[in-house]
Every structure is written in structure tokens, then in C-alpha cells.
Amino acid sequence: MAKARQSFVCQSCGAVTNRWQGRCESCNEWNTIVEENGGAGGGFGPTARVGRGRPFALEALAGDARPAPRIATGIEEFDRVTGGGFVPGSVALLGGEPGIGKSTLLIQACAALARRGERVIYISGEEAAAQVRLRAERLGLSDAPVELAGATQVEDILATCASGKRAALIVIDSIQTMHTEAAESAPGTVTQVRASAQALLRHAKLSGSTVILVGHVTKDGQVAGPRVVEHMVDAVLSFEGDSAHHFRMLRASKNRFGATGEIGVFEMTGAGLAEVANPSALFLAGRDAAAPGAAVLAGMEGQRPMLVEIQALVAPSSLGTPRRAVVGFDSNRLSMILAVLEAHAGLKLGMHDVYLNVAGGLRADEPAADLAAAAALVSSLTGATLPAELLFFGEIALSGSVRPVIHAGARLKEAGKLGFRRAVLPQAQQTNEDDKMSGVALSHCGHVASLVADI
Ligand code: TYD
Ligand code: MG
């Protein structure tokens, strides 16, 4: 009998080698290479022969060009991210750290769909069906006719899904717990994850059911799986948030049927995930406008304007090397802003500890956050409180000049809605008549030196 083909598969990126190595040459991760049996390469088996194929008819794009009807869950924050609902026959991967709320989100989406009369199947490989039902009861969803099962064998799951009415949505929680007879290696390995995902993908395309695969990812991406299926699926959604805070954000990093800029905002409550229709109001709630060191940023999360508070603390240091610490902000950007403030605005910050925090556990990653961060830093240093109805956006260049940013109109509109009366924005920022209608007075700022002089 021929010896089974041995191969070594990186559990992080899925690269295949023919010998064991301590470090994967493809992704440079250590200790991720594991020996797996047979078919690991996902290549063609011995049955593939050149010349066996038959030609098939190609179809033109014109003709029956009606857009496929989407299946909306009715949870607006969710549907916004998927581009208005799921496309029948599509497969999405929902990634996120363990405990962030993926199962909660999906059981709520399933219940919402099931109440609309669709057949919805929720397969849990991690919890027993009774546990899932218990959670649904706690969330007040026990009346929704979602079909639940605790199963891990892909062939069994597909047999169940194929019998009866076509399911509108099948949730697989999680793909790492699934195994298929088509691959020999242990559950959770890259080979199993890929083969299971492939079988589910085939089912989705043939049946027209939408399939959502849940994938756990750890902070350093150590766990096998989700990354190797990203290229196979139609959409990659990620559920993010800080477990210390209640806010959760759903984003699409890939979507074949919609834009990827959209985000959905939720709040984790005792009764499950609640939609946050107006995130800015929530993120600004409870802010202490009378304290120095806080500036409001008119930021963007994808296509959605979001106002957040940036807090700074600048205090004399007792250390030889002063501390610089950030939460929700890039530490390199902070260093750069401090250097620019010293070099071009004459501030002395070399003997001060500097802390910068974005309120609500959010991240302010865009360059447009520079001006608000600088304003918060100056306000904390000088002790001058910034007016409560004032906000900032603009990018700071190394020369100290303030550069224009994108989406000025959307930022100003959101600011106007929330009662802000004045915005400090870049000198060269183009604004139009609509922006003047937002009710926000515009103060153009061309250089950090003039920002410091005004505070
Ligand atoms: P879960 O959906 O199980 O996370 P995941 O599937 O991503 O691993 O959510 C787990 C966390 O959510 C858990 O720590 C408790 C919290 N939670 C609430 O705060 N309220 C709720 O109503 C539910 C169901 C969970
Ligand atoms: Mg879960």
C-alpha cells in the first residue's frame, strides 16, 4: 500500500512545506508548523486528469440582470454592514476574539430573521443546543422558531440543512470546531478548517442559503483557521471592541456585495446587544466639559462620522525619561505631535509625562485626529479649558502646518446635529454652502502655532 502523503502545514497562514521547520518561511511565525496527513495542499487528487473536462456554456451579463433580493435581518446596524442584508448563496466569515459577543449577535440576528418567517439554522459546535436555547431565553428570543443543534460533523450538518425547506440562513459557530470526513487531520487544524469551509461553501452556492461562519481570532492571530478561509468567503466581518467597555463594532474588511467602509455599533447590555443608532451622542455622554485636557474630535469610522473625546494629561515628570502612554491612539503619532509642538509652537514638553486616551474604548487612528490630540495636549499643559461646543479635525504635518482631510462635510453635519457651534479645521479645507448650513461656525487654522495661541 502506498504510504500516506505527509505534509507540514503552518497553522497560522496555511503554507505547506514537505519538512518540519521551527519557523514558517511564509508568515515568519514560530512553532506553527504541524504534520498533517493527505490532501493538505488542497491540490488536485489523483482523479484530476488533463483533458477530462467538458466545455460548458458561458452566460452573458446582460439579460436577466435583476439584483438578487437581499435578506435583511431588520437589525439595522447589522444590515448596514452587510450592504443591506445577506445575498442568497453567499458565505460570510465573522471573526472576533473569544467572548466579544459573536454568538450573542448571531443568535439575535437568527431570531430576527426567523420571526420574519424564514427558516434559520444555528449550529453550535461549542455549546449544546440546550445551552444556546437557554441563552436565547435570557435574551427574550425564545419565541423565535430558530432551529438549533449542537453538531460538529459537516456531513451531518449538510444532510440536516438539505432536508426540508431551503434555509435562508445557516450559522456555523464556530468553523474551528467543525470536522469533515473529506480530511483526515484533527479538528481545528488548517486542513480541517479549510475542507469544512469548502464543503459549507459548496452547499451555500448550490442551495442558495446564506452561510455565516464564526471564527475565533486571538490578538496575535495564533489560532488556526479564519485567516485561511478569508479568501474563499464572500464577506469578512469582524466584531471588535474592548472587553472592558460595552461598545462593540461590526466592520466588513471584505465584501463582494457591498461597501467595506460601513460599521455597525452595538452596546453589550444585560439583555444582549443593543443597537446604537447615534454613537456620537453615546460616546460624548457624561463628558466633563469643564476640565482641561479634553478635546472633541469630529472623526470618521469608515463612511460614518463619529464624534469622540480625546483626553490628555500632561504633568511634570519625576522620571529621568518621562513617560508617554496612549490608549486608542498611535504612539508614533503622539511622539510626532509632541515633536511638532516643541519645534514649531515653542512648547516645552521634554520634562513632562504625557498620557493620551480616546474615551469609550474607541480608536482614533486617522490623521484627522492630530489637531484634536494637539488641542487636548495644549489644554492640559496650560490648564485652559476648551469650550464645550468646540470641536476639531485636521492633520498636522511635520512642518507644523495643518492639512485638509477627507469628509469635512459629513463631519460638520454630525457636529451640527449634536449641537456643536464651532469647528477648528484646516486652513486649506474646502467647504461648500451645505457646510455653512450645518450651523457650525468655522475657524480655519493653518499652523499649530496659531492653534496654541488661540487656546
Ligand atoms: P458571546 O456571544 O458568548 O461571545 P463569543 O461568541 O464571541 O465568544 O458573549 C460572551 C460575553 O458577552 C460574555 O462574557 C457575557 C456577555 N454577555 C452580556 O453581557 N449580556 C448578554 O446578554 C449576553 C448573552 C452576554
Ligand atoms: Mg461563541
Final residue of a domain: which of 216, 249, 277? Answer: 277
Residues 296, 254 within the same domain: no
* Residue 447 within any structural domain of the chain: yes
Q: Of 441, 389, 443, 437, whose CA–CA distance to 413 is shortest?
A: 437
CA nearest ligand 1 atom 25, residue: 272
ipTM exceeds 0.90, yes or no: yes
302 known member of a binding site = no
Final residue of a domain: which of 244, 262, 277? Answer: 277
- Residue-wise pLDDT tens digits, 144-181: 999 999 999 999 999 999 988 999 999 999 898 999 99
Residues 219, 260 within the same domain: yes
101 known member of a binding site = yes
98 known member of a binding site = yes
Q: Give the full edge-to-edge strand order of the sheet including 6-10.
A: 16-17, 6-10, 33-37
User: For position 368, what pLDDT does the model report?
Assistant: 96
pLDDT tops 60 at residue 254? yes
Residues 181, 243 within the same domain: yes
Residues 368, 345 within the same domain: yes
Residue showing cell 473536462: 53
101 touches ligand 1 (CB under 6 Å): yes
Residues 212, 287 within the same domain: no
Residues 338, 190 within the same domain: no
Joined together, the cell numbers standing for residue 212 give 455565516
- Residue-wise pLDDT tens digits, 54-90: 888 787 776 665 666 888 998 999 998 998 899 999 9
Residues 252, 273 within the same domain: yes
Burial class (CB in 10 A: 0-12, 13-18, 19+), 47: exposed
* Residue 42 within any structural domain of the chain: no
46 touches ligand 1 (CB under 6 Å): no
Residues 119, 267 within the same domain: yes
**Which residues form the domain of 197?**
76-277
Final residue of a domain: which of 244, 277, 310? Answer: 277
CATH number for 271: 3.40.50.300
State the total domains in the chain. 3
User: For position 285, what pLDDT does the model report?
Assistant: 79
Cα dihedral sign, 323-327-330-333: negative
Residues 113, 10 within the same domain: no
Pocket test for ligand 1, best of 100, 104, 142, 248 (most atoms within 8 A of CB): 104
Question: How many angstroms does the Cα of residue 112 sit away from the middle of ligand 2?
Answer: 18
Strand ranges (DSSP E) for 345-440? 352-358, 390-392, 395-396, 402-403, 422-426
Strand, helix or coil at 160? helix
- Residue-wise pLDDT tens digits, 121-143: 999 998 898 999 999 999 999 89
Question: How many angstroms does the Cα of residue 36 sit away from the middle of ligand 1?
Answer: 34
Q: How far is CA 417 from the centre of its chain?
A: 26
**Mean pLDDT over the full length of the chain:** 87
Ligand number nearest CA of 109 is 1
- Residue-wise pLDDT tens digits, 359-400: 877 889 899 999 999 999 999 999 999 999 999 999 999 999
* Residue 229 within any structural domain of the chain: yes
Q: What percent of the chain has pLDDT over 70?
A: 91
Question: How many angstroms does the Cα of residue 167 sit away from the middle of ligand 2?
Answer: 21
102 known member of a binding site = yes
* Residue 123 within any structural domain of the chain: yes
97 known member of a binding site = yes
User: For position 67, what pLDDT does the model report?
Assistant: 62
pLDDT tops 50 at residue 42? no
* Residue 60 within any structural domain of the chain: no
CA distance readout (Å), 66 to 143, 178, 393: 35, 35, 42
* Residue 56 within any structural domain of the chain: no
94 touches ligand 1 (CB under 6 Å): no
Pocket test for ligand 1, best of 137, 268, 269, 273 (most atoms within 8 A of CB): 268
Task: Name the pTM for this structure.
Answer: 0.78
135 touches ligand 1 (CB under 6 Å): yes
CATH number for 399: 3.30.230.10
Peptide bond connecting 174 to the previous residue in cis, omega within 30 degrees of 0: yes
Residues 286, 413 within the same domain: yes
pLDDT tops 90 at residue 53? no
Closest ligand 1 atom, residue 239 Cα: 7
C-alpha span between 213 and 123 (Å, rounded): 10
244 touches ligand 1 (CB under 6 Å): no
Residues 221, 321 within the same domain: no
226 touches ligand 1 (CB under 6 Å): no
* Residue 214 within any structural domain of the chain: yes
User: For position 63, what pLDDT does the model report?
Assistant: 60
218 touches ligand 1 (CB under 6 Å): no
Residues 216, 255 within the same domain: yes
215 touches ligand 1 (CB under 6 Å): no
Closest ligand 1 atom, residue 268 Cα: 19
* Residue 45 within any structural domain of the chain: no
Q: Of 106, 116, 179, whose CA–CA distance to 144 is shortest?
A: 116
